[in-house]
Amino acid sequence: AQTVTQSQPEMSVQEAETVTLSCTYDTSESDYYLFWYKQPPSRQMILVIRQEAYKQQNATENRFSVNFQKAAKSFSLKISDSQLGDAAMYFCAYISGGTYKYIFGTGTRLKVLA
Amino acid sequence: ETGVTQSPTHLIKTRGQQVTLRCSSQSGHNTVSWYQQALGQGPQFIFQYYREEENGRGNFPPRFSGLQFPNYSSELNVNALELDDSALYLCASSSGGGYYGYTFGSGTRLTVV
């Protein structure tokens, strides 16, 4: 069975600094997709960034980028120039091709210090 | 785009009762999924509807059931509520599968007492 592990329950970063959130996953599939979602206190999950397993190039969205290490089954999120609005729960999620469900990690709470 | 809206936002029910949660999917989206998020946990997949048919289900008992309507809105019904059903219930919509990401609603916080 596929699993997603986020080993950092909580992280802190100074405003304008860079922080990296970790995620590892386990799967025997070759066709899958990985995501980072942000959940602020408003509770709505917001898509931050997406990575397709067959693409070697790491995805980037403005200040957000990933380090996708397929062999190591690692998918970390780097947030550059952290802003107060980045404070939230961050969830790593996995979905394999041909299936319907996301498998989420347990989340990392990010605190941004002014 | 109006996004995904869920109602009600909060709900308190008594053990053994039944509850219906509602979700309006984002315009243009034909797929709706429901997730249960217990406090301090990641969301767990309940089921997914595509064009009014359930086409995937997670490890939830039959007392969790759903509907999708012709306008692609959806309901989640839970019968015989148990204390462990207390959670945030999230609805998510997409066009097709979730491979390009879902649009989530803000959830319904259900408390069973």
Quick one: pLDDT at residue B39? Answer: 93
Question: Between these two residues, B71 and B36, which has the higher pLDDT value?
Answer: B36
In tens, the pLDDT along A86-111 reads 999 999 999 998 788 999 999 999 99
| Regions of chain A with pLDDT less than 70 | none
A90 touches chain B (CB under 8 A): no
User: How many percent of chain B have pLDDT more than 70?
Assistant: 99
Compare all CA atoms of chain B with the CA of A35 and give the residue at the minimum distance.
B101
Quick one: pLDDT at residue A60? Answer: 94
- Separation in Å, CA of A82 to nearest CA in chain B: 23
Interface test with A, best of B33, B36, B104 (most A CBs within 10 A): B104
Has residue B2 got a pLDDT over 60? Answer: yes
Closest listed residue to residue A66, CA positions, set A106, A30, A93, A41: A93
Contact (CB<8Å) A101/B107: no
Quick one: pLDDT at residue A16? Answer: 97
- CA–CA dist B87, B34 (Å, integer): 12
A113 touches chain B (CB under 8 A): no
Contact (CB<8Å) A102/B102: yes
Cβ-based contacts of B92 with chain A (< 8 Å): 45
Contact (CB<8Å) B100/A50: yes
In tens, the pLDDT along B36-62 reads 999 999 999 999 999 899 989 999 999
All residues at 6 or more sequence positions from B67 whose CB lies less than 8 Å from its CB, including other chains: B49, B52, B74, B75, B77
Contact (CB<8Å) B43/A91: yes
| pLDDT tier, B98 (very low <50, low <70, confident <90, very high otherwise) | confident
A99 touches chain B (CB under 8 A): yes
A35 touches chain B (CB under 8 A): yes
Quick one: pLDDT at residue A79? Answer: 98
Parallel/antiparallel/unpaired status of strands B87-94 and B108-112: antiparallel
Q: Please name the residues between 72 and 101 in chain B that touch chain A, using a CB distance below 8 Å.
A: 88, 90, 92, 97-101
In tens, the pLDDT along B86-97 reads 999 999 999 877
Closest listed residue to residue B77, CA positions, set B30, B28, B11, B25: B11
DSSP A44-58: --EEEEEEETT--SP
DSSP H or E segment with residue B47: strand B44-50
Residues pairing with B68 in the sheet: B74
Has residue B1 got a pLDDT over 70? Answer: no
Quick one: pLDDT at residue B68? Answer: 95
- Which of A97, A101, A105 has the CB atom closest to B58's CB atom? A101
Has residue B85 got a pLDDT over 60? Answer: yes
B18-27, B58-67, B95-104: the lowest-pLDDT one: B95-104
- CA–CA dist B48, B92 (Å, integer): 9
